[in-house]
Amino acid sequence: MPSSTEAGASPAARTRTLGNVLTSWNRRIHFYLGLYLLLFLWLFAFTGLLLNHPSWTFAEFWPNRQQSSIEVPIQQPPQGGDLVQAQDILRQAGVRGEIEWTRSRSQASQLDFRASRPGHIYEIKADLQKGQATIHRIDLNAWGVLHILHTFTGVRLTDSKNQRDWSMTTLWVLCMDAVAIGLILMVLSSIYMWWNLHQKRLLGLLALGTGLLSCGLFVIGLRWLT
């Protein structure tokens, strides 16, 4: 039950109290979200620069990749779909990663696919009749890991055959969802804090307007340019 002081408070006083509570929680949310998002934002900002400037030689990774090939014996995988058999072959070979189908399966005795994770790519050609798998391994340096993390989702919009099948890919995607939601909340909390600073409203409106115009140029304006 509300105390006698709260019950006797005027509407204006209760509004001020509610505003103080909202301001306090807003600052906490902004503070802790910023700490959680810190390294993720640095990661995506830095890798975004690398993607925008592929000519930067210090960040080259594909020409510096290491490659090796081995042949490993495998037992007949269990009956089932291609994914079940591919996962069993990976287990036997001691390989972990997101499975990607590189070609359609034309023979029941042959299964070709790729398994990848940040820093490693495995091209696998399994001959089930011979009980043998050839694994071509590609190892990338740290720049390659950063590059792949920027776009590592396990799915492609134009390829319905490839779906997420590795738990770490799903975990990474969930973290990226959390980053996206966190950024939305941080922006909303920033707007709330800015609006409460009456002396900063004009400068804030100028910054907000400049951002809206810049973003609108690419989201809406470019379609009208000939």
The Cα 123–Cα 102 span in angstroms is 9
Q: Do both 126 and 186 map to the same domain? A: no
Q: What are the tokens at 199?
A: 């002396």
82 and 24 within one domain: no
Residue 40 lies in a domain: yes
91/124 same-domain check: yes
214 burial via Cβ count (<10 Å: 0-12, 13-18, 19+): exposed
133 and 70 in a common domain: yes
**Sequential DSSP letters for 200-226:** GHHHHHHHHHHHHHHHHHHHTGGGG--
Q: How far apart are CA 86 and CA 161, in angstroms?
A: 14
Tell me the whole-structure pTM to 2 decimals: 0.76
| Residue 13 belongs to some domain of the structure | yes
Residue 184 lies in domain: 4-55+174-224
Domain membership flag for residue 156: no
String of DSSP letters for 148-167: HHHH--S-BTTBSS-----H
Same domain, 41 and 76: no
pLDDT per residue of the chain (226 residues) written in tens, 0 to 9: 445 455 556 666 666 687 788 888 888 888 899 999 999 999 999 999 988 998 888 888 999 999 999 999 999 999 888 999 999 999 999 999 999 988 888 888 899 999 999 999 999 999 999 999 999 999 999 999 998 888 888 887 677 777 888 999 999 999 999 999 999 999 999 998 888 888 888 999 999 999 999 988 888 877 776 5
Number of domains in the chain: 2
